[in-house]
Amino acid sequence: MTASPAGAPGDVLPQARILAAATGQIRRGGVREVRVQAVAAEAGVSTPLVYHYFGNRAGLVRAALTAAVADAPDPAASANASPRERLVALLAGGVDDAPERREAAAMRNELAASALFDPELGALLATDTARREASVVAALRDHATASHEGDEAAVVARGLVGLADGLVERWLGGLLAADRLRALVGRAVDAVVAR
């Protein structure tokens, strides 16, 4: 979501401005720091208008996270990548110290962490995770040495996506370097595939 070149608030619909302001607040401070009043001020609207469009603070957070996850592109490997490279790219390819990659990973992590307190976010997390697991299942199938079948591949994919997300959180928290994370995910893929 970008502001118009003129930057005049009137050029962008108020809903879009509110959503952009809320998304910016989540990016900067996480879901916990979202304040409806501050969002309204940043969007140049009144607080009641925010409530009019989004119901309450939880509705606003939900809308911002939903849009962020929907907009985040799946990390893609290059066309001639090996099945292993594609698996690692799917699991950890989004991990990059480039700001936009970091933001996308941070938004997904905020979704996962906030879902604990909002069943609707839990449902969104489940849907998004299932989609990513399905991509990993497909990539596992292409991996010549992987021999997981049916339900087993789904369970392996679930474990790998969980492992990668756990490590991504450590990367976001400054506990793990991006290249170390990719190496670790590669090791997990090799170990699981070799079995």
Partner 1 sequence: MSAPAPDRQPEGRRALLDATAALVAEQGVRGLSPRAVARRAGTTAALVYYHFGSPAGLVSAALHHANEQAPSVTRLPGPPAGRHGRDALVDALEAEFDDDPRVRSLNAIWNEVGALAAFEPALRDDLRAVTDAWKATVAAAIRRGVADGSVAPDVDADEAAELLTGAVDGLSQRWLAGALTADEARVALRPLLDALVPAG
Mapped to the 3 state alphabet, what secondary structure does 67-115 carry?
HHHHHCCCCCCCCCCCHHHHHHHHHHCCCCCCHHHHHHHHHHHHHHHHH
Closest distance of CB 103 from partner 1, Å? 10
Residues forming contacts to partner 1 in the complex (CB under 8 A) are: 28-33, 106, 109-110, 112-117, 119, 121-123, 125-126, 129, 152, 155-156, 158-170, 172-175, 184, 187-188, 191-192, 194-195
Q: Which of 3/126 has CB closer to partner 1? A: 126
Closest distance of CB 107 from partner 1, Å? 11
Question: 44: alpha, beta or left, given left = phi > 0 and alpha = psi -120 to 50?
Answer: left
What's the rounded Cα separation, in Å, for the pair 154 and 168? 21
Closest distance of CB 52 from partner 1, Å? 24
Q: Which of 79/194 has CB closer to partner 1? A: 194
